[in-house]
Amino acid sequence: MNSIDRYAVIGSGIGHSRSPQIHAMFAKATRQAMEYGLLDTPPTAFVSVVRNFFRDGGRGLNVTVPHKEAAHRLADTLSPRASRAGAVNTLAAVDGKLHGDNTDGAGLVRDLTMNLGCKLEGARVLLLGAGGAARGIIGPLLEAGAAALVISNRHSARAKQLAKEFADLGPVTPAAAATTAIRGRTAVSDDAGYDLIINATSASLRGELPVVPAHAVGTQTLAYDLAYGERDTVFMHWARSAGAARAVMGLGMLVEQAAESFLLWRGVRPDTEHVLAALSSPST
């Protein structure tokens, strides 16, 4: 058996994932003897690849698109936040069992509050999307003190269902049904000036822009795309042209959720500031 502790990210079409680089930097900075690889795996092979990885002594996996719900089903035990999210982004071998956690929401909240200076306490938040990515961040946003969290989704029934599911945690509601499907310019006025608009749809991955309720952008608005890439997403361009104060992609969240996973696995929290700075520099 390999003497060095093994970790990896598992997802489909993740050839360009920055997770191996991030965890290599964390390991170096915290002097942890570990290696971190990449398992590009289609949904049909997910369960067998995970089982083989842990059977061969692997210590932990980060789980990304499209396997987070499958990982939730596969885990023997779940953290409360993973259970609530219905999705797992971190697997760890604990006492011979597969433990599932979800560090996405904590990573997002940390990026927003610590790195971007966004005050979530009392904030009005518009969440675009009602899929797995949205599901993982609703609880942590409400726990961070959002005063209103409005969910807007292409298929509005999913937004309604999600709002209902999380209603016990705080003021979460579906977007007004009157919101019409005109991209970026709609006719309702009751969603005026959000402090924060989060794009949790998968539209950016296909270069598309989700429908955004009218008057959502105010001069104070921070627009945050969970997606990240080499170039600005369509949502970033839209947010700037709509007058948002700031438009940010999810690289900070990626680094922060990775740090949360690293903490779970290694018992030490790595410093994220220098890693984020290194990844953000054009030469990296």
Active site members: 68
Q: How far is the CB of 182 from ligand ATR (least distance, A)?
A: 13
Q: Convert residues 62-81 into a mask of x (bound to ligand ATR by CB under 6 A) and - (unbound).
A: ---x----------------
Query: Which CB sits closer to ligand ATR, 27 or 82?
Result: 82
Of the candidates 175, 255, 253, 248, the one whose C-alpha atom is nearest the C-alpha of residue 215 is 175
Instruction: Please state, in angstroms and rounded to a whole number, the distance separating the CA atoms of residues 62 and 262.
Output: 10
- By CB under 6 A, residue 202 contacts ligand ATR: yes
Stretch that binds ligand ATR, among 70-78, 110-118, 197-205, 214-222 (CB under 6 A): 197-205
CB-based contacts of 79: which residues, under 8 Å, 6+ apart? 99, 100, 101, 102
Stretch that binds ligand ATR, among 25-33, 44-52, 123-131, 251-259 (CB under 6 A): 123-131
Which one of 131, 140, 184, 270 is in contact with ligand ATR (CB under 6 A)?
131
- By CB under 6 A, residue 129 contacts ligand ATR: yes
Instruction: Please state, in angstroms and rounded to a whole number, the distance separating the CA atoms of residues 189 and 213.
Output: 8
Instruction: Please state, in angstroms and rounded to a whole number, the distance separating the CA atoms of residues 162 and 174.
Output: 8
Query: Which CB sits closer to ligand ATR, 79 or 153?
Result: 153
- By CB under 6 A, residue 152 contacts ligand ATR: no
- By CB under 6 A, residue 240 contacts ligand ATR: no
Structure tokens at 103: 């560090």
CB-based contacts of 239: which residues, under 8 Å, 6+ apart? 197, 217, 221, 223, 247
Instruction: Please state, in angstroms and rounded to a whole number, the distance separating the CA atoms of residues 212 and 192.
Output: 11
- By CB under 6 A, residue 210 contacts ligand ATR: yes
Q: How far is the CB of 235 from ligand ATR (least distance, A)?
A: 10
DSSP assignment of 217-255? EEEEEEEEES---SS--HHHHHHHHHT-SEEEETHHHHH
Interacting residues with ligand ATR (CB under 6 A): 65, 129-134, 153-155, 158, 201-203, 208, 210
